[in-house]
Amino acid sequence: MSATFRIAPSILSADFARLGDEVRSVVDAGADWIHFDVMDNHYVPNLSFGPMVCKALRGHSRVPIDVHLMVRPVDALATAFAEAGADLISFHPDASTHVDRTLQLIAGAGCKAGLVFNPAAPLDVLDWVIDKVDLVLIMSVNPGFGGQGFIDSALRKIERARKRIDASGRDIRLEVDGGIKADNIRRVADAGADTFVAGSAIFGQRDYRAVIDSMRAELAR
Ligand code: DX5
Ligand code: ZN
């Protein structure tokens, strides 16, 4: 298991009226990545922000921007986010007609590529494309909204994903998204995750640094 844990605050729960300030504050508070949730009111029943907002925020973040696409179709937006300054781009395999081609498109655009698995989605596609994946993202809520409760079956899926990643011998991050808080992050890390998205747990508190520090303290236990 990777010892270098990453915490990726999701700005879906930030104050949208002050997004640039929010990104700077949470980076100053110790965020390792900025998690950028893109929703299209089609693949998921909610609408958030697109590549123009990513481009506007790029200069406010000195850490990688981790784009989570919850959109269908994927390819045109993946290209637009690469041009907008994204560092990592992840998509749901069931949202892309040609998963292998989309992974190549993201890599060809100079970004790290990730696959995202919904709570009821199997990991089987990894058998065929793991050589083209830099990140596996396990959803521990159904995508579309922040502030939902952690779905426990995600722990078993994280364990299985960890085995596949270790067997591949590749440097692939294992990220978890949904319902992560200081009081469950240790269990999620024990299952094999090394990268943690947290939206409401961080932006729902006044002191972002205190929350991120408490998560790191749990991870260091
Ligand atoms: C859900 C998003 C998540 C969400 C996490 O569709 O992918 O990134 O913002 O929010 P919390 O941490 O509040 O569950
Ligand atoms: Zn997300």
Q: What is the CATH number of the domain that holds 199?
A: 3.20.20.70
Residue 2's pLDDT is what?
43
Atom index in ligand 1 nearest the CA of residue 204 equals 13
d(C-alpha 140, C-alpha 209), whole Å: 24
Number of structural domains the chain divides into: 1
Indicate if 37 belongs to the active site. yes
Which residues surround ligand 1 with Cβ inside 6 Å? 10, 12-13, 35, 37, 68, 141, 143-144, 146-148, 177-180, 197-201
Residue 40's pLDDT is what?
98
Q: Choose among 189, 121, 177, 210: nearest CA to 8.
A: 177
**Is residue 1 in a domain?**
no
Across the chain, where does the E strand assignment appear?
6-9, 34-39, 65-70, 88-91, 112-117, 135-139, 173-177, 195-198
Say if residue 1's pLDDT is above 60: no
Residue range of the domain that includes 194: 6-219
Burial of residue 8, with CB atoms counted within 10 A of its CB: 0-12 exposed, 13-18 middle, 19 or more buried: buried
39-98 tens-digit pLDDT? 999 999 999 999 999 999 999 999 999 999 999 999 999 999 999 999 999 999 999 999
**Is residue 13 in a domain?**
yes
Catalytic residue among 40, 87, 134, 177: 177
**Is residue 74 in a domain?**
yes
